[in-house]
Amino acid sequence: MADGCYLLVGASGDIGRAIHSGLEGEKVISVSRSRVPEFESEHHFLDLSRPISEDEVRAITAGTDVIDGLIWAPGTELFGMFQDTSLEALDAQYNLSVRSLIIFIKEVLPKLKSSKSGRIIVITSVWGSVGASFESIYSTMKGAQNTLVKSLAKELAATEVTVNAIAPGVVEGSMTQALSDEDLAAVLSELPQQRLIEPSEIGSLTTFLLKGETRSINGEILNINGGWYT
């Protein structure tokens, strides 16, 4: 993976920052709503919760002919009763997790096919496989991502491009830091390892999947949840 070019979407979140750190020394094109100051990568601002256009994605990748990896890491959880979900919130979740992802893959795929080891890695969630009460919309979008990964992996199996997902459990970061001590203790009591997933664990698995030696790992939903759900 030396001297590769990687498109990292959702670079400013806890997981995105960890992935970016693991790509030190590589060429990284980062996309997010805010720039991470400690990273010197080429950066593009884009709000993925609105309907983005194909032209916007083309402009981001116009400066390179070959992209070795597309890493998709944006995501915002949506808590609440299913029947209370507004159409605005529904559209934002769909745009962020499904529509924007599809547009990016469509536009970047020819550049990935030009690589000797093109990789598409989507950061999904444990809820995409098992579902979560009071997070039905979020779980639905993550489930859609998982299905896209499996389907596209089959479609591209004869090429050098692989498609995989990483599905974390409860991750240490801004969302869990907002929990009260009581709520955090309740979460930890359900986890077999009695600890949260570190973003660096997701970053390390991402870096591994980007290697050329992983070309037979394809169409997988790789769980990182400490045995919480298997």
Polymer length in residues for the chain: 230
3-state DSSP call for residue 166? strand
Is the separation of the CB atoms in 160 and 113 below 8 Å? yes
Is the separation of the CB atoms in 54 and 106 below 8 Å? yes
User: Pick from 174, 230, 222: which is nearest to 201 by CA?
Assistant: 222
User: Pick from 163, 134, 138: which is nearest to 148 by CA?
Assistant: 163
Q: Give the residue numbers marked as catalytic.
A: 138
User: Pick from 226, 221, 218: which is nearest to 118 by CA?
Assistant: 218
Q: Report the amino acid identity of residue 95.
A: N
Round to whole Å and give the CA distance between 155 and 95: 23
